[in-house]
Chains A and B, each alone.
Chain A
Amino acid sequence: DARVTQTPRDKVTEMGQEVTMRCQPILGHNTVFWYRQTMMQGLELLAYFRNRAPLDDSGMPKDRFSAEMPDATLATLKIQPSEPRDSAVYFCASGSTSGRTNEQFFGPGTRLTVL
């Protein structure tokens, strides 16, 4: 049963600390997306990759957020320094561009709380 995995599932940290979230996409998928979900804003697209290359990261604050794909099995999202307004659930999703359309499959999310 292929699934997207994310770690950690929950993270509580102090303001100013660095936070790193990890995602393992489904094997064979060539696109990876990072989303942030809050009650107020819903699902916001932060960044996405195709074949490990970043396509668009305009959805995230450049001064504190960074997203990378060091290899095909790992995507990371870093926040440095973290702020209370970053508190949200962060989802990773993966998909394939080989088909007619590109369904995305989501991981369980990382719930981030910045105190």
Chain B
Amino acid sequence: EDQVTQSPEALRLQEGESSSLNCSYTVSGLRGLFWYRQDPGKGPEFLFTLYSAGEEKEKERLKATLTKKESFLHITAPKPEDSATYLCAVQADGSGNTGKLIFGQGTTLQVKP
């Protein structure tokens, strides 16, 4: 069964304290891995798509990396405005061309000033 697991569930950082969020996945074949950011009271906001192992994408203080079994979202020198829930999702080859995603439970990040 296709599955996505994120860790930790919650993470508290001091401003400037770099860290990483983990997304482990089990799928029959990976078509794409997606990272989203969700702020309280809002819908998930698309951040990155990764297609194959070894690929990296960057946006401001965020860098996403991908291996054959997991993805990391590295946050460098975070600021309080980076506080949000970060969601990982995968699209499996078995989904055909439906666009169906399998989401993890998310990691809630809190960055204190």
Contact = CB atoms under 8 A, between A and B. Distances in A.
B103 A103 contact: no
B17 interface: no
Contact of A103 (B34, B41, B100, B105): B34
Contacts of B49: 101, 103
Contacts, number: 66
B45 interface: yes
A40 to B, nearest CB: 10
A12 interface: no
Contacts of A96: 99
B43 A50 contact: no
Is the contact region of chain A dominated by helix, strand, or loop, or is it mixed? strand
Interface string A51-66: 0000110000000000
Nearest to B42: A108
A107 B45 CA distance: 9
Interface residues of A, number: 25
B101 A104 contact: yes
A108 B31 CA distance: 26
B99 A31 contact: yes
A101 B49 CA distance: 8
A85 interface: no
Contacts of A45: 100-101
A102 B36 CA distance: 14
Contacts of A97: 97-99
Interface string B54-93: 0000000000000000000000000000000001000100
A93 B98 CA distance: 13
25 contacts: A33-B99, A33-B100, A33-B101, A42-B105, A43-B103, A45-B100, A45-B101, A48-B98, A48-B100, A50-B99, A56-B98, A91-B43, A97-B99, A100-B51, A101-B31, A101-B32, A101-B91, A102-B32, A102-B91, A102-B101, A103-B34, A104-B46, A106-B45, A106-B46, A108-B43
Q: Which 5 A-B residue pairs are closest in the complex by CB-CB distance?
A: A102-B99, A101-B32, A106-B43, A31-B99, A43-B103
Interface of A: 4, 31, 33, 42-43, 45, 48, 50, 55-56, 91, 93, 95-97, 100-109
